[in-house]
Amino acid sequence: MAKFRQSSFRRILVTRILLLFVPVLLLGELVALNKARSSLLNTARQNLTESAVLKGEKIVNEIATLKTSLLIASKTSVLRSGSEDEVQKFINQVVQELPSYVECSQLSDLQNGDIIASSCGDKAIREPKLPFVADNQVEINAVLPPKAGTTGQRETENQLQMVLSAPVYSQHGQLKYILSMQSSLYKHTKNHPGSLTGSTLVIADDGTILAHPIPERINSNIQEYPDAYRLQSIIQNAMTGQSNSVNLSFQEGKELVAGYSVISNPIAKQPEKWIILAVTSVDNALFGLEEIKLILIVLTVGLIGATLLASLYLAPYLAGPVEELRDYVLNIHSHHAAQTVPQTFKIREFNQLAQAIDQMFDRLKAWAEELEIAWKEAKTANQIKSQFLATTSHELRNPLNIIINCVRLVREDMCDSRDEEIEFLKRADETAIHLLGIINDLLDISKIEAGKLSVVSVPMDLRQTLLEVINIQSVNVQQKGLQLKTMLGDEPIPVKADAAKLRQVLINIIGNATKFTDEGSIAIATKIEHDKSNSQVIVSIKDTGLGIEPAQQHKLFRPFVRVDGSSTRKFDGTGLGLAISRNLIELMGGSITLESAGLYQGTTVKITLPLIRENGENVKTTSEAEKMTEVNPCSQTQETKSHEDNYPLPLVENTFKS
């Protein structure tokens, strides 16, 4: 059942994608916009600085070109000896061939100031004066509008107006004329939006403005304006030869960006500087930012719409399988056993998840079945344990009654002769030994369940132990008329085990084979197997007796379990022998198994023990045993004595009952 404030996977899938994507997109848009603005301003400053450098180089180159052209023209023979018509024609031709920034060219008489030839009317562009400059030199004079700002359109548009004058000598080498040329090096025009060449601003090193985007400010000084300190810092930086950019304001409320450079003053006779600035507004520098904003807005709206559509489109692919799997799991109790989890999704991971859920349900079902089987087995084991308690009570009561009765008969002198008394005492002794074996079984199984059963393993000869056990059990075998076959070889079989408890296991296994075999034979054989890592010996005890059904064989090594039936119920015992034997053999590092083809087909029990390798381990083990004896001899003696008390050798065949 859905809890309060819980949402569906499909809704979370759509809303969370949008909630995460939209803020990230808007934040990215702001970062991109700020980055674009910063990049545009940096580009504008760099371009304006380069433009200022180019403007300065252009002014220097134009002045140098005018000076060269004027000197060449002043040395032509037409000006020296030609007629007025030829001179006028030459002057007009010179103006046409020179760049467009040359406005006028005149040839004036230096003595009386008369205009010999002119391309711009009769108005003199220079007042003749003496003395003139030295030979082969050009005199340059700036033409600035008056400070009152009453100049006409020509003066306001054409800026950096200069008059260049060169001497003209007669054929006799006398200074006779002056060739003058008026030029406007800069014409203020309105730049196109987005242009980063900038408007030209020229400032002399004394602060006089020679060219300005606002014509009325020409021939004024920077100290007259609010941003004088900024312009003064530009002049100081430029005087050191720097070229850079700066933000400033020539108009109130309008921010500008300017790049600047410096050139030598072409007019002054002494070393002076002109500061060339390329100025544009911040809005013009960021002209492309509006288009970027528009693109980002369109992109944002498009991406949000695409994300929404993608979320709605992907929701069925992602939420659909989850919902189907949820419905299947919630309704698993009502599904038919043959119905499987849906696995027809278009996404591989969901199919794998469905397969994992199906496998999990199979495992849970198998575990439930195993749990049910284990519960039944536990219930059966509880019943068996109850039966075992009843059987054990009977097994304990009968020997006690026999012992009590025999002792009373002897004590009350109810026997007819001494031989009869000895016979009763002998029967009481044998019954007491049998009772002791039952009690030992109970003690051992209690130690096994408590995890306290232990063995003391020492190097020993397995073949010798087998011969001793066979010698003991041969009497019982002969009494039942069975044939005993042994194949033990002639060489000693070195193993590391607890001799007394290994003897008990062998007696129990051979005793069971004898007890459950009425006719035929019992075969005891040893076989040594070698492997790359270790070697082991296998002791097999094979009989031709009763046998065990395959379905019941796994129960034999469990405590308190007996294979009950009409065919076996005639045999007494507690049912603990094989369980104790398996635990003892496993504590010695070996294993014990039982094989039988079925009832009346015999049984084979195999005991496997590791051999001692021929690398000094025998000596090492012996020394450790000796060391143990030296360190705690009392405990070792007590342990040995305990074995002798619990399992006396002459009567050890009655130790286990199975």
pLDDT of 425-468, one tens digit each?
A: 888 887 787 777 777 767 666 666 666 677 888 999 999 999 98
| Residues 30-74: tens digit of each pLDDT | 888 888 888 888 888 888 888 888 888 888 888 888 888 888 888
- Write down the pLDDT at residue 564: 52
**Residue at token pair 């405990």:** 635
- Write down the pLDDT at residue 603: 93
- Write down the pLDDT at residue 438: 72
How many other C-beta atoms lie within 10 A of the C-beta of residue 275?
A: 25
Q: Residue 530, class by beta-carbon neighbours within 10 Å (0-12 exposed, 13-18 middle, 19+ buried)? A: exposed
Q: Is 288 a residue whose pLDDT tops 90? A: no
Lowest-confidence region among 13-22, 48-57, 244-253, 257-266: 244-253
Q: Is 634 a residue whose pLDDT tops 60? A: no
Across the range 483-507, mean pLDDT stands at 89
289: Cβ contacts below 8 Å, ≥ 6 apart: 33, 36, 37, 40
- Domain spanning 340-452 has what CATH number? 1.10.287.130
Across the range 85-99, mean pLDDT stands at 84
Torsions phi, psi of 375, nearest 5?
Answer: -65, -40
Q: Is 385 a residue whose pLDDT tops 50? A: yes
| Residues 323-354: tens digit of each pLDDT | 777 777 777 766 555 566 776 777 777 777 88
In this chain, the answer to whether the domains covering 29-285 and 454-654 adopt an identical fold is no
Rounded to an integer, what distance in angstroms lies between the CA atom of residue 547 and that of residue 605?
11
> End-to-end CA distance of the chain, in Å?
58
How many other C-beta atoms lie within 10 A of the C-beta of residue 85?
A: 9
Q: Is 540 a residue whose pLDDT tops 80? A: yes
Domain residue spans of the chain: 29-285, 340-452, 454-654
- Write down the pLDDT at residue 643: 32
Q: For residue 51, what are the β-bridge partners?
A: none
Second CATH level (architecture) for the domain 29-285: 2-Layer Sandwich (3.30)
Bigger pLDDT: 9 or 582?
A: 582
H/E element holding 15?
helix 9-74
Task: Assign 623 a pLDDT band (cuts: 50, 70, 90).
Answer: very low
What distances in angstroms separate CA 437 from CA 138, 385, 447, 604, 646, one per listed residue? Answer: 143, 19, 15, 25, 8
- What is the overall mean pLDDT for the chain? 76
Task: Assign 108 a pLDDT band (cuts: 50, 70, 90).
Answer: confident
Q: For residue 535, what are the β-bridge partners?
A: 530
- Write down the pLDDT at residue 562: 59
Q: Is 606 a residue whose pLDDT tops 90? A: yes
The most confident of 103-107, 310-314, 446-450, 621-625, by mean pLDDT: 103-107
Q: Is 609 a residue whose pLDDT tops 90? A: yes
Lowest-confidence region among 41-45, 317-321, 354-358, 573-577: 573-577
The most confident of 8-22, 51-65, 129-143, 165-179, by mean pLDDT: 51-65
Label the pairing between strands 521-530 and 535-543: antiparallel
Are the C-beta atoms of 325 and 351 separated by less than 8 Å? no
CATH 3.40.190.10, domain 454-654, yes or no: no
